[in-house]
Chains A and B, each alone.
Chain A
Amino acid sequence: MRRSSTIICVCIAAFSIATFRSASADDSMSSGSTMGLPKDHQYLIGTWTCDVQLAAMGGQGPTTDHGTMTIALSPSMTLHSHVVAKDYMSDSYQGYVTKTKTHWIASSDTQGNTTLETSMNGSVFTGTTWQAGAATPTRDTQSKISDTKIHDVTEFKMNGKWSKLADVVCTKG
């Protein structure tokens, strides 16, 4: 349960980052601001149902899980996403820094994890997840399938090697 929840956190939280994946600095909605919501990503605002496929790990075979993600606007033209799954909740903010052309996401959850990830190209996000001081490198690769379906692959770096942990598809509505 804990394993799957943690992964849901990273995966679903990372999904929200997809809002910025294809955005350029020019289409930020924030004129004169350091951050902004890309205009062509308004479709993400709303409620999504997410199915998570978890890789085999720790002697446990592949499993699946489910969650609901709600995305809304937050101050400074950032996005706030709230995830609810069985025995698990998480919240994330996502933004874009025009000056440095950097996409970012910051997440926290009910297991005490905090995550910071950034992307320079808007397609692959790398960063770190901390739990009680222990840090683990994370990477998310996302894609927009349609206005009502998005996809994300989450990887963790262990012993110097990236390992796929989850594959998530979220459907709007």
Chain B
Amino acid sequence: MRIAAVVAATSVATVAALGFASHAWAGPPPTAPPNVIGPMSSFQYLLGTWSCVGKPKTPASTTKVTFSPASDNTVQFQSKSTATSTIGYFGYDAVAKLWWSASVDNDGVRYYQSSKNWQNYSGVMETKDTTFPLQSSMTRITYTKYRTVTFEQVDGTWAQSSDVTCVKL
């Protein structure tokens, strides 16, 4: 039960965490008033609601993800399915020149990821007992569709933990 929940949460968190990466490949975002500025303006096109499906397939594999502007030029994301809920924020560290994602889920897991190049992310997923390294990549398909793939390191071995596609609603 817990493993399934963690995997599902990882998938959802990664979808949200990497969503903004697609903008780097997309050129100018669709017309909308800027709600985030500077390096965070890359999130602009993501603001709104997305429907995400993919692997691992579970009864809760269809997830709704929402991005919204938040305090201090950050973006809040929230993903929900019938069984899982993940929420967190994206921001930019001007000193480290890194985009970051900090989130938690309803299984008591925290996630922290950062990126230098918009396309490949690394970080950790931490439970009360264990820490797993994470690596993720994201491919933008269109302005209204993107795909994320996440790998998780367990006992020194990297294994794909999710492959999710999101469509903007």
Contact = CB atoms under 8 A, between A and B. Distances in A.
A144 B88 CA distance: 28
B21 interface: no
| Interface residues on chain A, size class | 20 to 34
Contacts of B80: 75
B1 A93 contact: no
Interface stretch (B24-32, B101-109, B135-143, B156-164): B101-109
Interface of B: 1-2, 5, 70-72, 74, 76, 78, 80-85, 87-89, 91, 93, 96, 100, 102-112, 114, 126, 128
Given A75-B82, A106-B109, A109-B102, 8 more contacts: A74-B85, A75-B81, A91-B104, A93-B87, A108-B89, A108-B103, A112-B89, A114-B103
Interface in A11-67: 34
Contacts of A136: none
Top 7 A-B pairs, shortest CB-CB distance: A106-B104, A114-B110, A108-B102, A91-B87, A110-B74, A104-B108, A78-B106
Contact of B106 (A87, A95, A108, A112): A95
Contacts of A123: none
Nearest to A118: B128
Given A76-B106, A95-B106, A114 B111 contact: yes
B110 A116 contact: yes
Given A89-B89, A116-B128, A108 B71 contact: no
Contact of A108 (B5, B84, B88, B108): B88
A75 B106 contact: yes
A104 B105 CA distance: 12
B106 A80 contact: yes
Interface in A89-120: 89, 91-93, 95, 97, 102, 104-116, 118
A80 B126 contact: no
Contacts of B76: 89, 91, 110
Given A112-B102, A116-B128, A95 B108 contact: yes
A163 to B, nearest CB: 24
B152 to A, nearest CB: 18
